[in-house]
Structure 1
Amino acid sequence: MCGTALWHWALDIGCVLKSILTMGKASEIRPKHNCYHLVQIDEQWSYVGNKQKKVWLLYAICEQSGEILAANWGKRSKKSVKALLKKLQEREINFYCTDHWKAFAQVLPKEKHIFGKKYTKKIEGINTWFRTRLRRLARRTVCFSKKLIYHYLIMKTAIYERNIRSSYI
């Protein structure tokens, strides 16, 4: 590659990264309603930096509309579930549907917690949507984010765009 072509390539990468920063910071995940009957919660992993550095996305969706209500990035831990629940605390939620992961059982209110794979079909479908839509989330890939901030902002933008598009369908 000649010097001029390399210089243009570097400018393009800078432009892409700047766009990710701009769009990601402008995107907000805001639930449309104050009350939800059934909310499904699940976790999904991806890589940042290299395949030894897993990052977990925990997020909640409205079962009826598929709207993503809140998301939290971090480790797969009880602390991350608490952080996600804190983002949902202003909403009135009748029931939380999750899989059998013990952190969910420890954090979510027992009287409102329904667990089992048959209650999380919608969110599992959204996990598949994420993995097919965003190459960096594919399980067998050489494409992954090098920095956590870009990974976070791309996911945040994807969630925002998905919520906008689903509201028009």
Structure 2
Amino acid sequence: SDVIVCAEMDEQWGYVGAKSRQRWLFYAYDRLRKTVVAHVFGERTMATLGRLMSLLSPFDVVIWMTDGWPLYESRLKGKLHVISKRYTQRIERHNLNLRQHLARLGRKSLSFSKSVELHDKVIGHYLNIKHYQ
């Protein structure tokens, strides 16, 4: 299995059609390689976080770094886990880059996704081009 010394995890808000129809991007970012390792879309729930964790199971992650969202703490219990805004600066910067490059992720924008399928495909395609090839 591939070793990831330091993985940052975060979630990013988006919406489809109306702001009440929230769509969350959960992803893990390899701090040393500066690349996204895995991502999933869904609601901001333990189930979505669980899907991301199952994608990360082939990797041997040494240190997990997250913000203070309580579900991270419960899901990463027993692992080396650092909860700090200081150590999630790279993934937060990546969130800002995504917002700059993909108008549909902007908070106040006329460019928004009209369907969940298209929302997930456009963002997924961007991540594939930038990180998985």
- TM-score relative to the length of structure 1: 0.75
Matches within 5 A, 1:84-123: 84-123=52-91
Greater share of helix: 1
Query: Which structure 2 segments of 5+ residues have no match?
Result: none
How many angstroms apart in 1 are the aligned matches of 2:61 and 2:72? 15
How many angstroms apart in 2 are the aligned matches of 1:66 and 1:160? 14
How many angstroms apart in 1 are the aligned matches of 2:78 and 2:26? 19
Find the residue that maps to 1:110 and give its secondary structure: coil
Residue deviations 1:79-134, cap 9 Å, x none? 11111101000111101100000010010133321111001000000000000000
2:93 maps to which residue?
A: 125
Find the residue that maps to 1:95 and give its secondary structure: strand
Deviation at 1:68, TM superposition (A): 0.4
Number of aligned residues: 133
Of 48-57 and 34-43, more deviation after overlay is shown by 48-57
How many angstroms apart in 2 are the aligned matches of 1:85 and 1:95? 14
Query: 1:116 is matched by which residue type in structure 2?
Result: S
2:103 maps to which residue?
A: 135
* Root mean square deviation, CA, Å: 1.3
1:151 maps to which residue?
A: 119
How many angstroms apart in 1 are the aligned matches of 2:21 and 2:29? 26
1:40 maps to which residue?
A: 8
- TM-score relative to the length of structure 2: 0.95
How many angstroms apart in 1 are the aligned matches of 2:108 and 2:78? 36
Query: Which structure 1 segments of 5+ residues have no match?
Result: 1-32
Find the residue that maps to 1:120 and give its secondary structure: helix
Q: Which runs of 4+ in 1 moved over 4 A?
A: none
Residue deviations 1:124-163, cap 9 Å, x none? 0000000000000011112111111111011111111111
